[in-house]
Amino acid sequence: MAHQDRRAFLRRTGLVVAPAVVGGAALSHPVAATATPEHRAPVPAALRPGGELDRYLSALAAEDRFSGTVLVTRHGHPVLSRSFGYADKSRGIRNTGDTIYCLASVTKLFTAVAVAQLVQQGTVAFEKTVGTYLDGFPGAIADTVTVHQLLTHTSGMGDYHGIDGYFTAAAGWSTAEQVLSGTLDFIRREPLSLRPGTGHQYSNSGYTTLGAIVAAASGLSYYDYIRQHVFAPAGMADTDFHTTPRWRSDPRIAHPYSRQPTGQRVDIVDQQHLFVGLPDGNAFSTAPDMARFAGALLDGTLVSPAFTDLVVGAKVPVATLPPKPGLPAKTRFQAYGPAATLGNGTWAVGHNGGSPGISTLVEWYPPSGWLAVKLSNYDPQDTMAVDGTIQAILTR
């Protein structure tokens, strides 16, 4: 089914969320397939129009501290959706519930699910090393770093963004194949900063390496694999790895606005260095599509229930976070892609992302059935407080 045909179908079936929704029809791939007492319960006052979350977001937007979309669902049913600000200020295009945003590191969730699918098929194994699947890595990586360690950020690999000469070389890449292969060439030359398995260090290089493993094990390009085996079965008609030229020109894609030292917000879409995103970041999606993704992961559409448990279950302790106003002390763990945070006996599982002009969050709260998506085209320092406010409301 063509992209526009699939989108038209989703609209006809009520699966595209309007800019403002309360208690709407279920999204495809709901987080829980059966009605529960919690599902039948009234929407909490804090999540109703004019309620605590609505007022909070409206106040931030009025102060020009938030631009983007927030969607909250319960058991797959939209409860509240709000959009503020502009996708493109120069053209007067406002953000809506259907605006497409750059996801930054939330993209890692797609890569992690792809790896889990291949493990479920028997094509990849968590305990196998990088050299089992990829050539050209030094022995310190090829023979010691495992798929498990890449997934849990315990490989000792770092961040290719900081390698001298990377962005200079990247300026000459004009295809997805060049971006992925060229980035891997830099990652292969990057020494480990930790002995594999001895510590947690967030690694963009590790997740790009996982994407290369997906391609090698599946026989497809990384991008085609994700489109065919993650986006399509989850019903994500508005999600893709868009090129930077399209980011600049497509009126549906939100431009990133970054606050300068003068206080002025500047459209920095022309400062994006890569032709297309990578397995560690910068896919594009809408809030409803990200809700569909979470539902498809949790209901067994993307992987079997046993492998869903593997993906979302806590693996490695990362940090103990002290209490904050309205939030209890929490312990954060790394799962296979998501972070899993335990606070006051309640789990919050998901991933955030951020870079100048981009701040994102997808998080669910088992077993309550709550799911929150925040996609913003403002800086993380302005919008990350929204994440804690949503979590405080949904874990009361």
- Please name the amino acid found at residue 193: S
Q: What is residue 31's predicted lDDT score, i.e. its pLDDT? A: 36
Q: What is residue 163's predicted lDDT score, i.e. its pLDDT? A: 97
Token pair belonging to 49: 């129009």
Q: What is residue 39's predicted lDDT score, i.e. its pLDDT? A: 54
From the number of C-beta atoms within 10 Å of its C-beta (0-12, 13-18, 19+), residue 246 rates as middle
Contact 314, 333 (CB under 8 A): yes
Q: Which residues pair with 82 in a beta bridge?
A: 70
Q: In this model, does residue 390 exceed pLDDT 90?
A: yes
Task: Tell me the pLDDT of the chain averaged across its residues.
Answer: 90
DSSP 20: S
Contact 288, 97 (CB under 8 A): yes
Task: Identify the helix (H) or strand (E) that includes residue 77.
Answer: strand 77-84
Q: What is residue 38's predicted lDDT score, i.e. its pLDDT? A: 53
Average pLDDT over residues 307-325: 92
Torsions phi, psi for 158 (to 5 deg): -115, -130
Report the percentage of the chain scoring pLDDT > 90. Answer: 84
Average pLDDT over residues 77-93: 97
Average pLDDT over residues 14-42: 44
**Which of the four pLDDT bands, split at 50, 70 and 90, describes residue 324?**
confident
Domain 45-395: CATH superfamily, name plus number: DD-peptidase/beta-lactamase superfamily (3.40.710.10)
Q: In this model, does residue 21 exceed pLDDT 50?
A: no
**Which of the four pLDDT bands, split at 50, 70 and 90, describes residue 40?**
low
Contact 265, 378 (CB under 8 A): yes
Contact 244, 276 (CB under 8 A): yes
Torsion of CA 56, 375, 13, 307, to 10 degrees: -110
Q: In this model, does residue 83 exceed pLDDT 90?
A: yes
CA 123 – CA 125 distance, rounded (Å) = 7
Average pLDDT over residues 117-142: 98
Report the percentage of the chain scoring pLDDT > 70. Answer: 90
Is the pLDDT higher at 220 or at 20? Answer: 220
- Residue ranges covered by each domain of the chain: 45-395
